[in-house]
């Protein structure tokens, strides 16, 4: 069984379509909307492949008209693009993104897997980063009996051991923020996990952003994030 694991697509259809992996299933860790120009196309890509999925904080915000709880540097970008999402997503797609639970237990090759968007302690909002201390990571690991914990949310991939478990952040497909401007994702096959990258046409994604009916400053910050895979200036 070969499973493609994706997270944080954020409306970037160019990055999503650039991932060319043979797989038997798709597991999505949340956040198909906000920040990017094509949320509907990304939703339809996941629906076509009958993706197994959990709900992310931005999915939650768009589906239920709530705040996303993201960091201050990104909050205004989330709010601006959320208004756009509401204008282009029909009721069926809005309902679809709000359907999943916030955690999911799976198995692969005899390995027990916990899939969440953010963290075992807080499925939607806690940031577990490459800099999270060993002590804090072990505390997260202790909350589950899974062998592998899959996370997204931070847009910064990492692979670390804690409490005898593999703690894996798969990074972001559509908006990486670790200085590497490539789609980030993972593949699980028979319990073995690989973090991977895919190049995509950033210029095409930027062109789509520039056509959005949003404030020019918002557009320029979103473009900077795509081009530099980092924080907005």
> What's the pLDDT tens digit per position in 147-182?
999 999 999 999 999 999 999 999 999 999 999 999
Q: What percent of the chain has pLDDT over 70?
A: 99
Task: Walk me through the domains of the chain, giving residue ranges and CATH numbers.
Answer: 2-228 (3.60.21.10)
What confidence score (pLDDT) does residue 230 get? 85
- DSSP characters over 18-69: T-----SEEEE-S--SSSSS-HHHHHHHHHHTT-EE---HHHHHHHHT----
Q: Answer yes or no: is pLDDT of 71 > 90.
A: no
What confidence score (pLDDT) does residue 233 get? 57
Which residues are within 8 A (CB) of 7 and not within 5 positions of it... i.e. 6 or more apart? 28, 29, 30, 31, 56, 117, 151, 152, 153, 170, 171, 172, 173, 185
* Of 1, 131, 121, 10, residue with least CA distance to 62: 10
Q: Answer yes or no: is pLDDT of 125 > 60.
A: yes
What confidence score (pLDDT) does residue 232 get? 67
Q: Answer yes or no: is pLDDT of 206 > 90.
A: yes
Please give the mean pLDDT across all residues of the chain.
96
Query: What pTM was computed for the model?
Result: 0.96
Q: For residue 207, which phi and psi values (nearest 5 degrees)? A: -60, -40
């Amino acid at each position: 069984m070969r499973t493609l694991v994706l997270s944080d697509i954020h409306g970037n259809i160019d990055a999503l379509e650039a991932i060319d992996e043979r797989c038997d299933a798709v597991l999505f860790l949340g956040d198909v909307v906000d920040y990017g120009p094509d949320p509907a196309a990304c939703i339809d890509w996941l629906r076509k492949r009958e993706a197994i999925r959990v709900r992310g904080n931005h999915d939650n915000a768009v589906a239920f008209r709530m705040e996303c709880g993201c960091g201050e540097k990104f909050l205004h970008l989330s709010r601006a693009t959320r208004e756009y999402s509401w204008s282009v997503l029909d009721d069926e797609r809005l309902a679809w993104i709000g359907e999943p639970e916030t955690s999911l237990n799976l198995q692969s090759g005899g390995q027990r897997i916990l899939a969440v968007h953010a963290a075992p302690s807080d499925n939607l909002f806690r940031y577990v980063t490459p800099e999270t201390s060993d002590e804090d990571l072990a505390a997260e690991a202790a909350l589950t009996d899974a062998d592998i914990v899959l996370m997204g949310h931070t847009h910064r991939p990492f692979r670390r051991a804690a409490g005898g478990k593999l703690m894996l952040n798969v990074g972001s497909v559509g908006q990486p923020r670790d200085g590497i401007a490539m789609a980030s994702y993972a593949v699980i096959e028979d319990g073995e996990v690989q973090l991977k990258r895919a190049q995509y046409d950033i210029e095409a994604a930027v062109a789509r952003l520039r056509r959005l009916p949003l404030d020019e400053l918002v557009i320029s910050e979103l473009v900077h994030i795509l081009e530099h895979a980092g924080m907005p200036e």
